[in-house]
Structure formats: C-alpha cells, structure tokens
Amino acid sequence: MSNSAHHDLATSGRTWASGRSWLRDNMSRFISLASIVLLVIIFTVMNPNFLGAANVRNLLTDISPLLVMSCGVALVLLLGSIDLSMGSIASCSAVMLTLTFTCAGWWSYALIFLFGVFAGFLNGILHAKLKVPSFIATLSTQSIWQSAAFLLSGGQPLTLIPKNWGYVNWVRAKSIGPIPLGPIPPLFLIGLVLMIVYYVYQSRTETGKTMMALGANERAARLIGLGINRAKIVAFTFSGIGAAVAGMIFAVKLKSGIPTVGEQYNLIAIASAALGGVALTGGRGHIILVILGVGLITVIQNGMNVIAVDGFWQQIVFGLLVLAAIYMNSDRRRRDLVVK
C-alpha cells in the first residue's frame, strides 16, 4: 500500500533549506490547529450552541474512541507500515466486554485490554517475523477478528443487560471523587491518558525512539544497533491496545456489543493521524499532535449536524474538508520529499 520509506533527502546529499527552519518546519503544525480554530469559529457563528457546554462535552466524548485508535495507528504509521485490523479488534472487544461483564465484572476491562495486547502482538509477529507486508497481514487479521466477533456474539447484536449497567455508569460521572470534571467527560480523560502514555513511550523510551528512527531509515537504524523487530512488534501491540480500548469505549458508550461497531474506523483513524502531521511513509510526526487531526475530523462530523448540512451533501463536504486540511498540512517546501 503506499509506504516504502523512500526519502530522497537522505540520498540526494543536499541539506534542507537552512535559515529559520524551526518556524517553517513547525508551521504545518500550527496550520492544522488554525484550521480547527477557523472551523470552530465558522460553526459557532452559524450556531452559537456549537460551543455550548453540552456540545463541547459531545465533542470530547466523540473524540475519545477515535483518539485512542489514531494514536495506536500513528505508531504503526511512524514505522512506515499500516494497520487495517483496528476496526475488527474494536468490534471483537466490544462484544467480549459485553459478554464478560456478567462473569468477570470489573475485571472484564483488564481481560479485554489483554485481548488487545494479544491481537496487536499477533499483527506484529506476522509482519516483523514472517516479513509479510503490513497491509496484507492486518487485512487478514481484520477478517479473522471479524469472524471471531460474529462467533462470540452468536451473530446477534448484544445488549448490555441492565444488571451490568453498574459497571458502565461511570461514563456519565460529572466528577472523580471530589474533583469536579465540568464539561470534560471521563471517556475523554481515558483518551488523553492513553495519548500521553503513547507520546511519552514513543518520545522517551528506546523502543519508541527506534520506531521513529526505523521509519525514517530502517537500514541505518539496523546498523546503529537499534532493536528493529522489537520496535515493530511493540508498535503493532500498542495499536492493538488502542483498538481494544476504542472497542470498550463503544460498548460502554452505546451500552451494546455490536460485532460490526468498529467496521468504519480503519480509514478514518489513519486519515486523522495523517491530518495530525504523521507521514504515511514513516519517520515523521508526533503522537501528541494526533489529537489535532482527530479534533479536526470530529469537529467536521459534529459541526455538519449542528449547522444542518443537507443529508445528501454530508459525505461530499466531509471529503472536501479532509482534502483542504491535508493540502494545508502537506510539506510542499521540500521538493525532494517523494510522496507516494
């Protein structure tokens, strides 16, 4: 699929345009922030309730599942690879969570987390050890986990029975113990915590830094003595965890275990990471900025309902805004950077 790390920069021998590179380098970062602010302003002008407390709470809630998935896939994109199995892992997690509540209660969250670790680890092994291209490896595990979701749910959309609602009511909590949360929903905190953990892991640990290095130049990373396979397997494992947490968020939020709930999220999560400045060819991007891409997509989808974009036009407007946002984020300064 599109990600041989073909950095002409490394081979062309020419250095970048020097001078105030720091500002120009980070300019694209501010652009995606600016485009969110701009859209928010336009939507608020058209309907002030867009920034009302209720809708801000909606925005933050809607962001969380997409955020955990996008942060997960961002690590895989840093490698220059891709993960298409997130949707099915999330669906499987939603089904399993709904089922295990009856027998494992609060422990179900931990069990499903472990399932995410296993599913991601399997992707990592298939890709890193068997050297199967990540597109095919994750496309295949996607269909495997989709079948698992159907089998586990017996082909039924599962309902979270009222007896188990006790395990999920924390979603609507307005405060954690004494600390009032105000407009911030608990789900968003989960998304934030996961993003920060992934960001710190990627930027502060050896394996995390190896992900970025091997995405930029796998040959050099290998000769420098970095653990290539380990970084790949951990990246895919984290992506699996992100997908499982997203699945749990869907189950808790919708109070249901739908075996196809995550189906649509593969491409949106990758688009969000790309809008957050993560290069699809690897080696470039910051996990902390993925929230900008996710925020932009969520603002667009939420905003279209708030300003009542005609049903027929929603998909068209969504596509146009994604194109505009990517255009502003793309790095057209470096002529030699080959974009696949």
Of 178 and 227, nearer to another protein (C-beta) is 227
The reply to whether 220 sits near another protein by the rule CB under 8 A is yes
Residues paired with residue 71 on neighbouring β-strands, in sequence order: none
21-46 vs 314-329: helix crossing angle, rounded to 10: 160
The reply to whether 96 sits near another protein by the rule CB under 8 A is no
Tell the smallest beta-carbon distance from residue 291 to another protein (Å): 17
Part in contact with another protein (CB under 8 A); list of ranges 67-75, 101-109, 175-183, 261-269:
261-269
Of 20 and 178, nearer to another protein (C-beta) is 20
Q: Tell me, rounded to whole angstroms, the distance of Cα 34 from its chain centroid.
A: 21
Q: Which of 29, 189, 192, 301 lies at the binding interface for another protein (CB under 8 A)? A: 301
Identify residues 228-257 at the interface with another protein (CB under 8 A).
Answer: 228, 250, 253-257
Tell the smallest beta-carbon distance from residue 233 to another protein (Å): 14
Part in contact with another protein (CB under 8 A); list of ranges 101-109, 174-182, 190-198, 217-225:
217-225
Q: Read out DSSP for 100-164?
A: HHHHHTTHHHHHHHHHHHHHHHHHHIIIIIT---HHHHHHHHHHHHHHHHHHHHTTSPEE--GGG
CA dist 242 and 230 (Å) reads 18
Q: Which of 117, 140, 189, 192 lies at the binding interface for another protein (CB under 8 A)? A: 140
Part in contact with another protein (CB under 8 A); list of ranges 102-110, 112-120, 186-194, 304-312:
304-312
Q: Tell me, rounded to whole angstroms, the distance of Cα 145 from its chain centroid.
A: 18
Identify residues 15-54 at the interface with another protein (CB under 8 A).
Answer: 15-16, 18, 21, 31, 34-35, 38-39, 42, 46-47, 49-50, 52, 54
The residue among 131, 125, 133, 129 whose CA lies nearest residue 84 is 133
Which structure tokens are listed for 335? Answer: 């002529």
What's the Rg (C-alpha) of the chain? 20
Of 106 and 312, nearer to another protein (C-beta) is 312
The CA angle 268-269-273, to the nearest 5 degrees, is 115
Part in contact with another protein (CB under 8 A); list of ranges 2-10, 175-183, 188-196, 234-242:
2-10
